Each structure stands twice: as C-alpha cells, then as structure tokens.
Amino acid sequence: MDNLKIEGTKQTPEIDFNSSTGILSISGRSIPENTFEFFNPVLLWLDEFSSIAPEKVIAKINLEYFNTSSSKYILEILKRLRIILKDGKDILVEWYYEEDDEEMMETGEDYEDVSGLPFEIISIDDE
C-alpha cells in the first residue's frame, strides 16, 4: 500500500501517512475551501489502511487552527482509528498544541472524550 503524502499550504494541513511504520501525521492549518475534496482521499486511504495496519499505530496531530467542517473530518479520522483499535491494534493519538494555546489543548481533550481513543496531549514550546 502506498504512503499518503500531501504538502501543506496556507489553507490545508500537511498529511504524512506511512502505512509501514503506522505513523500518521497531520500538521498545520486546516481551512480548505472544499473540505470534502481535501479530506476524501485521506479517509479513503484510512479505509484501506485499516485492513493492513501494523500492530502499533501512532497518529500525530499538530494543528494550529481548523474550521468547523475540518472538525467533522477529524472526527471521521478518529472514527476510523477506533475501528483499527477494535481490530485489536495498538493505537495512540498524540495531540500537539503550542504552550500558550489553551483552546487547542481543550479541543484535544474533547476529541479524547468523544473518540474513546488513548490520547497523549503534548505541549510544544513557542519558538
């Protein structure tokens, strides 16, 4: 299975999903004009990945800002990770936020509550 690599822009996040290592990274800003167009390939990739996922999967999410429709797609991504978890795989979601970004930290906590996935909320220093 191919890896999924999408370069980030001012409006879309960088996606770096590696099927062999099981490391799935999303970082940057997510305010696409057409969220479906952007996230559909991501969800399709995850649908395929769920059947061949390695024993350990780490999702690294480091988002600076995202719009409402992106928040729905993040839920969809977490839903697919939940399916992988139910298949008996080891899943960890690493949710990164900048030290002074209280809102993004709380958002990570909300996703943790709703998804039922193991989360690690990690603060990163402002540069």
Partner 1 sequence: MAKQSIYQSEIENLEESKNFLKKSDYSKLELQMEFKKLVENYEELIDQVKIITKISDRLQKKLNKTNIALEDSNIKLADLNDQLNETIDQLTEAKIGRKAATIVMIVAIALFIVSEAFIEPIIDNMFPNNFLVGLGLKLVVAILIKPGEDFTNKYMLKKARKEQLRESQLSHNNKP
The site for partner 1 (CB under 8 A) is made up of: 35-36, 40, 43-44, 47, 65-69, 71-73, 75, 101, 103-104, 106-107, 110-111, 114
Q: With respect to partner 1, which residue has the nearer C-beta, 27 or 69? A: 69
Nearer to partner 1, 66 or 96 (CB): 66
Toward partner 1, which CB reaches closer, 116 or 118? 116
Report the C-alpha gap between 26 and 87 in whole angstroms.
23
DSSP state letter for 26: E
Distance CA 112, CA 126 (A): 23
Taking the C-alpha atoms of residue 44 and residue 23, their distance in angstroms, rounded to an integer, is: 17
